[in-house]
C-alpha cells in the first residue's frame, strides 16, 4: 500500500514542471511591477497630466475585459505550453518597443494595451496548465503558492520598484520588463513538457463567449464560487483611497506605504494559514464565511482610527480576503479540461472588471462623503452582499456532489 503524499510546499516544489511555471510567474510579476512604476513616472514626466498617468495604469487592466472573452479559448484550442511560449515572445517584442526613448506617448499607450491584451490568453493557459501539471492533492497548495508569490511581489513593488526605477531610469526598467518575458518563454520551453490541445474534438469546438457563459451559468457550483470571488470589487477600494485616507487621518506621506501594503500583507498571512493549516474540506466550508466577513473590519474606518489601528483593520480584511485562493482553486477544479481556458477567459476579466468599477465608484463616492466614510460604506456593502452569497454557497456545497470536481457530463448539461 503506497503511503499518502504529504501536502507540503516541499512536496509541491519537487514537481519540476510546477517549479518551471512558478519561477516564470515570479519573474514576470517582478517585471510587471517595474513596468507599472516606470510607466507611471514616464507618462507623468512627459505629459504632466494626472489623467494620462491614471489612464496608462488603467490600460494595464482594461484589456483583460476584451482579451479574456475573445482570446481565453485559445488555451483550449492549442497546446497550452506552446501558447504560453508564443505569448511571451510576442510580449518580449512589444516590451522592447516600449523601452525605446523615441517612442511617442500615444504609441506607447497602444503598446501597453496590446501587451496586456496578449496577457489574457497567456494567463488562461498558465492557470489551466497548473491544473494539468499538479495532482489533485497538491493543486490547492499550488494555487496558494502562486497567489502568495503575486502578493509578495506586490508588497515589494510598492517600495523596491520605485527605488529601482528611480536609480536606473524608466527606459532601462521597461527593457528589463521585456527581458523577463523572454526568460519566461525559455523557462517554460525547457521545464514544461508539451501536451496536446485540451479540446478533444476540433470539429466540435465551442469557444464562443456565449458557450462560456452557458458553461458557468449552467453550474450552481461555478456560479456560486464566481459570485463570491466578485466581492473583490468591495475590498479593493481601500487601496485606491489610501492616499486621501492617509491625509484625512493625518498620516505623514512617508508612511502611506504602510496602508498600501496592509491588505497585501494580510493576504500573505491568510494564504499561508489556508495553505498550511486548513485541509481541503475545511477550505470549502470556510469559503463563504470568509468572503462575507472580509469587509467587516473596514466599517471601523468611519471612526477615523489612527494609522496603526487602520493598518491592523486593513490587514484583517486582507487575511479574510485570502479566500480568493480557495475560490480560484474550486472554480478551476470544477472545470473540465477542454473548457478550462474558455471559462477562465470570462471569469478572470470579470473579477478585474469589478475591481476597476469598485475603484471608480469608490473615488466618486469619496469626493462626496470623504475617503474614510467611503471605505466604511464599501466594507459594509461587502458584508451585506456577502452574507446571502455565503448562504447560497452553503446550500450548494451541501446539496450537490460536485466537490472536489464537477463531472464533465454534469458540466455540459
Q: Is the pLDDT of residue 298 over 70?
A: yes
Do 99 and 1 lie in one domain? The reply is: yes
168 shares its domain with 237 = no
Mean pLDDT in residue range 143-172:
78
Expressed as residue numbers, the domain containing 182 is: 1-190
Residue that wins the pLDDT comparison between 266 and 67: 266
Structural domains of the chain, count: 2
| Alpha-carbon gap, residue 129 to 85, rounded angstroms | 13
Distance CA 53, CA 47 (A): 8
Largest CA distance in the chain: 68
Query: Is the per-residue pLDDT at 81 higher than 90?
Result: yes
Task: Tell me which of 103-107, 150-154, 394-398 is least confident.
Answer: 150-154
* Domain boundary pick from 141, 157, 190: 190
Whether 104 maps to a domain, the answer reads: yes
Residue 46 lies in a domain: yes
In which band, very low, low, confident or very high, does the pLDDT at 407 lie, cut at 50, 70 and 90? Answer: very low
Confidence of residue 413 (pLDDT cuts 50, 70, 90): very low
Q: Is residue 5 part of a domain?
A: yes
Q: Please give the average per-residue pLDDT across 374-379, as a whole number.
A: 94
Output the domain CATH number for residue 37: 1.20.1250.20
Contact 262, 154 (CB under 8 A): no
pLDDT in tens, 205-256: 444 566 777 888 888 899 999 999 999 989 888 887 887 888 888 888 767 7
Judgement on whether residues 155 and 264 belong to the same structural domain of the protein = no
Q: Within a domain: residue 197?
A: no
- Give the whole-angstrom CA distance, residue 358 versus residue 378: 9
In a domain, 34, yes or no: yes
**What would the mean pLDDT of 50-60 be, rounded to a whole number?**
61
Q: What is the pLDDT of residue 198?
A: 72
Do 296 and 186 lie in a common domain?
no
376 and 411 together in one domain: yes
Shared-domain flag, residues 309 and 345:
yes
125 and 221 inside one domain:
no
CB contact at 8 A, 319 and 266: yes
| CA quadruple 204, 208, 214, 217: dihedral sign | positive
pLDDT band at 1 (very low <50, low <70, confident <90, very high): very low
Give one DSSP letter per residue of 236-293, joined into a string.
THHHHTHHHHHHHTT--GGGHHHHHHHHHHHHHHHHHHHHHT--HHHHHHHHHHHHHH
Q: How far is CA 330 from the centre of its chain?
A: 15
363 belongs to a structural domain:
yes
For residue 338, tell me if it sits in a domain: yes
* Residue/partner pairs of 201-208 with CB below 8 Å, 24 or more apart: 202/77, 205/76, 205/77, 206/339, 206/342, 207/73, 207/74, 207/76, 207/77, 207/342, 208/73
Same domain, 226 and 285: yes
Residues of the chain with pLDDT > 90, as a percent, come to: 30
145 and 176 fall within a common domain: yes
- Say if 240 falls within a structural domain: yes
pTM over 0.75: no
Task: Please tell me which of 48-52, 147-151, 308-312 the model is most confident about, judged by mean pLDDT.
Answer: 308-312
Last residue of a domain, one of 190, 224, 243: 190
Residues 224, 145 within the same domain:
no
**Shared domain check, 266 and 396:** yes
Residue 178: is its pLDDT beyond 70?
yes
Distances (CA, A) of 147 to 85, 124, 199, 273: 21, 15, 27, 13
Write down the mean pLDDT value for the chain.
82
The residue out of 161, 190, 219 marking a domain boundary is 190
- 184 and 232 assigned to the same domain: no
Amino acid at each position: 500500500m503506497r503511503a499518502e503524499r504529504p501536502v507540503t510546499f516541499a512536496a509541491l516544489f519537487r514537481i519540476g514542471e510546477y517549479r518551471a511555471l512558478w519561477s516564470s510567474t515570479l519573474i514576470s510579476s517582478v517585471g510587471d511591477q517595474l513596468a507599472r512604476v516606470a510607466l507611471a513616472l514616464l507618462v507623468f514626466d512627459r505629459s504632466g497630466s494626472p489623467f494620462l498617468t491614471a489612464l496608462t495604469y488603467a490600460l494595464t487592466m482594461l484589456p483583460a475585459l476584451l482579451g479574456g472573452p475573445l482570446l481565453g479559448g485559445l488555451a483550449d484550442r492549442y497546446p497550452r505550453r506552446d501558447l504560453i511560449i508564443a505569448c511571451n515572445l510576442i510580449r518580449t517584442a512589444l516590451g522592447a518597443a516600449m523601452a525605446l526613448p523615441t517612442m511617442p506617448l500615444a504609441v506607447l499607450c497602444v503598446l501597453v494595451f496590446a501587451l496586456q491584451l496578449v496577457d489574457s490568453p497567456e494567463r488562461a493557459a498558465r492557470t489551466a496548465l497548473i491544473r494539468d501539471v499538479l495532482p489533485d492533492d497538491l493543486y490547492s497548495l499550488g494555487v496558494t503558492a502562486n497567489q502568495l508569490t503575486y502578493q509578495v511581489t506586490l508588497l515589494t513593488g510598492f517600495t523596491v520598484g520605485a527605488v529601482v526605477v528611480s536609480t536606473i531610469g524608466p527606459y532601462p526598467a521597461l527593457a528589463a520588463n521585456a527581458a523577463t518575458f523572454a526568460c519566461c518563454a525559455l523557462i517554460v520551453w525547457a521545464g514544461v513538457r508539451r501536451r496536446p490541445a485540451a479540446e478533444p474534438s476540433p470539429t466540435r469546438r465551442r469557444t464562443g463567449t456565449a458557450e462560456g457563459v452557458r458553461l458557468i451559468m449552467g453550474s450552481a457550483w461555478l456560479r456560486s464560487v464566481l459570485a463570491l470571488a466578485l466581492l473583490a470589487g468591495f475590498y479593493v477600494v481601500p487601496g485606491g483611497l489610501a492616499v486621501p485616507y492617509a491625509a484625512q487621518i493625518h498620516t505623514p506621506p512617508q508612511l502611506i506605504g504602510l496602508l498600501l501594503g496592509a491588505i497585501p500583507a494580510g493576504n500573505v498571512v491568510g494564504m499561508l494559514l489556508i495553505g498550511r493549516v486548513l485541509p481541503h474540506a475545511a477550505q470549502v466550508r470556510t469559503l463563504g464565511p470568509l468572503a462575507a466577513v472580509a469587509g467587516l473590519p473596514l466599517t471601523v474606518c468611519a471612526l477615523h482610527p489612527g494609522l496603526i489601528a487602520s493598518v491592523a483593520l486593513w490587514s484583517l480584511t486582507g487575511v479574510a480576503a485570502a479566500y480568493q485562493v480557495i475560490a480560484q482553486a474550486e472554480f478551476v477544479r470544477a472545470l473540465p479540461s477542454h473548457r478550462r481556458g474558455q471559462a477562465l477567459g470570462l471569469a478572470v476579466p470579470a473579477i478585474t472588471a469589478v475591481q476597476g468599477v469598485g475603484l471608480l465608484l469608490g473615488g466618486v463616492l469619496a469626493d462626496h462623503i470623504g475617503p474614510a466614510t467611503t471605505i466604511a460604506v464599501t466594507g459594509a456593502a461587502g458584508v451585506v452582499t456577502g452574507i446571502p452569497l455565503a448562504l447560497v454557497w452553503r446550500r450548494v456545497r451541501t446539496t450537490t456532489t460536485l466537490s472536489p470536481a464537477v463531472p464533465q457530463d454534469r458540466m455540459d448539461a
